[in-house]
């Protein structure tokens, strides 16, 4: 097995900057997306079945991301002509009731693998010539807030992609955390108190639903 040292951006890091050709023209990332959330994601290859279902689903749910002030940016190591032909072909398929799928977000042409290497999307022991399914969720200040990696064989869960953006935005707005399987409308989690005095205050907070000093929920009225 190949052993190498890789450098890849981590949660809390500024998203590495790059300029790239896409199906929507040249983009400067993340600069062009300042003030918006963005999801930079990779797929292994055009004209492959799992990726086809993912792009049809991205097309269907694009407006839901937009409603969350969130832009989508795809990437694979394929050429521009391949991207264009593949995206056109999606319109002819049907998957889970999705028909006539039109992809209206940029798909990066990364034949040189410059961007995919910059973001640690190439996992050589899985596949040295294609990206894995990586997802980087970047906030309006250009900071990486969540990273997911999936293997080529497993398509992503779009309910979770939307839920994590909602959870990040909710945590930022209300300065709270979100519990396992949190959904909008559920109680928040109060982050653990940082001092003994704060722990005592927390237990006396009538609005906090505490089971112990470190295990408190709170209903947030939006
Ligand atoms: C797919 O998208 O179907 C796929 C791509 C690469 C390897 C395996 C599956």
> Ligand 1 atom closest to Cα of 155?
2
Active-site residues: which are they? 51
Q: pLDDT tens digit string along 133-187?
A: 999 999 999 999 999 999 999 999 999 999 999 999 999 999 999 999 999 999 9
pLDDT of residue 177: 98
Q: pLDDT tens digit string along 35-48?
A: 999 999 999 999 99
Q: Is the pLDDT of residue 7 over 90?
A: no
Q: Which residues line ligand 1 (CB under 6 A)?
A: 44-45, 48-51, 152-153
Q: Which pTM does this prediction carry? A: 0.96
pLDDT of residue 203: 87
Q: pLDDT tens digit string along 102-141?
A: 999 999 999 999 999 999 999 999 999 999 999 999 999 9
Cα of 156 to ligand 1 centre, how many Å? 12
Alpha-carbon torsion angle 43, 48, 49, 53, nearest 10? 40
Which of 57, 130, 153 for a ligand 1 pocket mutation test, highest count of atoms within 8 Å of Cβ? 153
In 3D space, the residue among 141, 86, 112 whose CA is nearest the CA of residue 21 turns out to be 112
* H/E stretch holding 159: helix 158-174
């Amino acid at each position: 097995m190949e052993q190498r040292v890789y450098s890849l951006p981590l949660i809390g890091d500024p998203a590495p900057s790059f300029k790239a050709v896409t199906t929507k023209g040249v983009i400067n990332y993340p600069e062009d997306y300042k003030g918006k959330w963005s999801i930079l994601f990779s797929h292994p290859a055009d004209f492959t079945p799992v990726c086809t279902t993912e792009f049809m689903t991205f097309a269907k749910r694009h407006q839901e991301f937009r409603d969350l002030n969130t832009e989508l940016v795809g990437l694979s190591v394929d050429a521009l002509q391949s991207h264009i032909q593949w995206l056109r072909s999606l319109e002819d398929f049907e998957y889970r009731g999705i028909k006539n799928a039109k992809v209206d977000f940029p798909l990066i042409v990364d034949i040189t693998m410059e961007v995919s290497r910059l973001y640690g999307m190439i996992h050589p022991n899985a596949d040295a010539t294609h990206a894995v399914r990586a997802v980087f969720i970047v906030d309006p200040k250009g900071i990486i807030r969540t990273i997911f990696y999936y293997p080529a064989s497993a398509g992503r869960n779009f309910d979770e992609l939307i839920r994590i953006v909602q959870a990040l935005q909710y945590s930022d707005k209300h300065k709270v955390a979100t519990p396992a399987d949190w959904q909008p409308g559920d109680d928040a989690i109060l982050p653990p108190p940082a001092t003994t005095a704060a722990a005592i205050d927390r237990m006396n907070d009538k609005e906090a639903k505490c089971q112990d000093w470190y295990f408190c929920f709170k209903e947030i009225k939006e």
